Amino acid sequence: MADDGPMQRLVAGVHHFQSQVFTSQRSLFEHLAQGQDPDTLLITCSDSRINPNLITQTLPGELFLMRNAGNLVPPYGASSGGEGATIEYAVAGLGVQHIIVVGHSQCGAIAALLDPESVKSMPAVRAWLGHAETARRLVSDAYPPTLTREQKVNVATQENVLCQLENLRTHPCVAVAMARGKLHLHAWVYKMAEGEVFAYDPERGQFAPVTEIRRTVTPKPNRTVNVRPI
């Protein structure tokens, strides 16, 4: 017989939400029912350990979220999935002012990117990771071969979020909004065990604690991340 424990916990959680959380925040949810007006599209991994609203301490309605394995953004027209439509709706429909691509430590998708044999029995996953091929090649060709596996995963995680920003620029709605100065792109990496978030600083050419970067920055392509632990 299947274990109903997980479902029971979910149902109990819904009951708690309805009887406690919703009741205490009724005015917020009534306001949200009138429509949404987020200022940020946050693209992150599907990893169950990542909770964007918890990390950023935001309320429902403040973030428009797109999640998938490896926080990938297929170039415009390169995928029949919903990523392009989500980006277009966020930028052209909702008028978000910021797009943040957030990678994270211990990412299984990045580990698989560097070790394709580990997902040889998952053809859909292997095909999907092709959208991060530039990051894999950068780690392979632009960094010292003496890097440990942990260092390679660390660097690949950083390179990947920057590569996904470059893919974002291929989307017409993104390119137009950026040309008008109405949209800014950001690259973040979340270090899970320490609860730290790092943002890419193009002036320093590396990631630094997000709290140190006060101004809006849009990383430019053709850069290499400095090898340093974060």
> Considering just the CA atoms, what is the radius of gyration of the chain in Å?
19
Residues 30 and 144 in one domain: no
| CB 115 within 8 Å of CB 202 | no
Residues 125 and 195 in one domain: yes
Interstrand relation of 206-209 and 196-201 (parallel, antiparallel or unpaired): antiparallel
Residues 65 and 152 in one domain: yes
| 220 belongs to a structural domain | no
> What is the predicted pLDDT for the residue at 229?
53
Q: What is the pLDDT averaged over residues 124-136? A: 96
Range of the domain at 16: 1-35
Q: What is the pLDDT averaged over residues 132-153? A: 94
| 42 belongs to a structural domain | yes
Q: State the number of CA atoms in the 13 A half-sphere of 32 facing the CB.
A: 12
| Chain mean pLDDT for the chain | 92
Tell me, what CATH number does 118's domain have? 3.40.1050.10
| 111 belongs to a structural domain | yes
Cβ contacts of 50-58, under 8 Å, gap ≥ 24: 50/102, 50/104, 50/190, 50/192, 52/102, 55/190, 55/195, 55/197
Q: For the segment 73-117, what is each residue's pLDDT rounded down to a tens digit?
A: 999 988 778 999 999 999 999 999 999 999 999 999 999 999 999
Query: How many domains does the chain divide into?
Result: 2
Residue 50 has pLDDT above 60, yes or no: yes
| CB 200 within 8 Å of CB 187 | yes
| CB 48 within 8 Å of CB 131 | no
Q: For the segment 210-229, what is each residue's pLDDT rounded down to a tens digit?
A: 988 765 445 544 444 555 55
Residue with tokens 């600083």: 201
